[in-house]
Amino acid sequence: MNISFTKETLANGLEVLLHEDHACPIVAVNLWYHVGSKNEHPGHTGFAHLFEHLMFEGSEHHDKGYFQPLQGAGATLNGSTNADRTNYWEVVPTGALELALWMESDRMGYLLPALTQAKFANQRDVVLNERRQNYENRPYGLAPMALLAALFPDDHPYHWTTIGEIADLQRVQLDEVHAFFRRYYHPANASIALAGDVDAGEALALVEQYFGEIDPGDAVEPVGASAGLQHDVRIRFEDRVELPRLYLAWLTPAMFADGDADLDLATDLLANGKTSRLYRRLVFDERIATDVSASQNSREIAGYSQITATAAPGHTLAELETAIFEEIARLAADGPTDDEIERGRVQAEAQFMFRLQTVGGFGGKSDQLNAYNVFLHDPAYFDRDLARYQTVTSASLGAAVGRYLDPRRRVTLSIVPEGRAALAAADSAVAVVS
């Protein structure tokens, strides 16, 4: 299963990926900048994401809202920021491709002359509201802050969340915005993918026409950092919740590294869906939890796996912790059954197909091409990505679980109802989160 594409590099360094799919008269434009919250520093967090907001506020030659002309052309558009990259996308009717390239290139080449203090102050307020809505005013919403801070040391760029610290957001100044733009938003740090109803040659000429004039900028040095847990870090905090919840987290391999696919399948097999071992035991049979989930969160320079379970009324986080580690130990010792391995393989195949149904948007073929290109310099990685999952064996999965989901080196976070600190897992220290 591969998708056909061509890759070109403009003279200024912009990498261009082109994929033709004429089934639907639309084109996905997907532009990645290789910058995320990993490029921030302590005291200046939340910046990459705040900056993403500013990219929708107009540029020198169209100093008005970014949405109006594109929505008027029938486009849908958005952007997103994570620890490792920021992406911007439009899905446009075939005839509006040139408009989208004009708009994207203008904000890559000519953002700063249009970036005023008033826009900046407004979008900072919007982001503070986004933070309140999605983290502070949401039950268990501050869990990511506590987990990342405990997993990664203070100076590690995964120590903080992409939304950033409130104090940092309130302190940031406009001149930082300018410096950030100059350092990260240029052709040498970007990759653009066009997928859909285009002629690859014509599309490349249009990209050249609009992006070719932009100054390349300086190459961005890769971010390096290391992390290691030496013991079981046990923390807790109180929140406006009804039921106590246990989070377990471990440092694991980075995206595409050895062990990543094993842990991806292992976390599914442990706690995703009704067939998973922990759902069956905790929720279905013993009924000591109301829900359980798990994930391998692989990022560019490190990963972490996480298991989350909420205690049913009348049951304790200690019961959950004991049961979860029994199941982890059993999986590590015996590996998965043949049926579990076979299910994992066919699910991986189906998931790949589901992901490739659309040309773009959040996900879709254009975004996947960019992911492989930016992280691996290899947009043809589809087959090998699937093969990573198809070649997992019972032995390799069991070994990865034994090695990485180690009870002696982990973070154990309890979030308990206000005033009920005693419901936390034993020996937990108070975590300060905000």
Partner 1 sequence: MSGARAVRAVKADRSRLPAPRTSPALPFPAIEKATLESGMRVWTVRHTQVPLVAFMLLVRRGAASDPAGKDGLAAVTADMLDEGSGERSAIEIHEALARLGAQFDTDIGSDATVASVSVLSRFSQRALGLLSDMIVRPALRAEDFARVRQLRLHRLTQLRDMPGALADRAFLRLLYGAHPYGHSPIGSEATLAAMTIDDVRAFHARAIRPAVATLIAVGDCDHDHVVRLAAEAFGDWSGGAGLDASDGAPVPQAPAITVVPRPRAPQSELRIGHVSAARSTPDYHALVVANTILGGQFVSRINLNLREHKGLTYGARTSFEFRRLAGPFALQASVATNGTAVAIRESIGEIAGIRGERPVTADELALGIAALTRGYARNFETGEQIGRAAMQLALYDLPDDYFQQFVPRIEAVTADDVSRVTARHLDPSRLVTVVVGDLDAIGAELASLAEAAPAVLSPDSI
In the window 268-327, what residues touch partner 1 (CB under 8 A)? 273-275, 280, 283-284, 287, 290, 310, 312-313
Q: What are the backbone dihedrals phi and psi of residue 193, each rounded to the nearest 5 degrees, phi first?
A: -120, 135
Among 39, 81, 123, 373, binds partner 1 (CB under 8 A): 123
Tell me the β-bridge partners of 81: 86
Q: How far is the CB of 154 from partner 1 (least distance, A)?
A: 26
Q: How far is the CB of 194 from partner 1 (least distance, A)?
A: 15
Among 99, 301, 369, 431, binds partner 1 (CB under 8 A): 99
CB 416 within 8 A of CB 242: no
d(CA 287, CA 266): 22
CB closer to partner 1 out of 134 and 322: 134
Name the H helices within 306-363: 317-334, 338-355
Q: How far is the CB of 328 from partner 1 (least distance, A)?
A: 20
- In the shown chain, the binding pattern of residues 29 to 58 toward partner 1, with x for contact by CB under 8 A and - for none, equals ------------------------------
Q: Mark the segment that binds partner 1 (CB under 8 A) among 147-155, 175-183, 344-352, 385-393.
A: 344-352
Among 199, 202, 213, 326, binds partner 1 (CB under 8 A): 213
d(CA 399, CA 289): 27
Query: DSSP assignment of 96-149, as one string?
Result: GHHHHHHHHHHHHHS-GGG--HHHHHHHHHHHHHHHIIIIITSTTTTHHHHHHH
Among 351, 390, 391, 393, binds partner 1 (CB under 8 A): 351
Q: Which of residues 241-270 bind partner 1 (CB under 8 A)?
A: 241-243
Among 209, 226, 390, 391, binds partner 1 (CB under 8 A): 209
Q: Which of residues 147-186 bind partner 1 (CB under 8 A)?
A: none
Give the C-alpha distances (Å, rounded to integers) separating 93 from 16, 73, 155, 251. 20, 8, 45, 43
DSSP for residue 312: P
Among 43, 74, 113, 201, binds partner 1 (CB under 8 A): 74
Q: Does 113 bind partner 1 (CB under 8 A)?
A: no
Q: Does 216 bind partner 1 (CB under 8 A)?
A: yes
Q: How far is the CB of 271 from partner 1 (least distance, A)?
A: 14
Collect all residues with Cβ–Cβ distance below 8 Å to 322 and sequence separation of at least 6.
Answer: none
Residue type, 257: A
Among 167, 205, 346, 430, binds partner 1 (CB under 8 A): 346
CB closer to partner 1 out of 217 and 379: 217
d(CA 180, CA 2): 36
Q: Does 63 bind partner 1 (CB under 8 A)?
A: no
- 402: which 2 tokens? 């034994």
d(CA 292, CA 238): 20
CB closer to partner 1 out of 136 and 319: 136
Q: Does 2 bind partner 1 (CB under 8 A)?
A: no
CB 418 within 8 A of CB 239: yes
Tell me the β-bridge partners of 19: 195
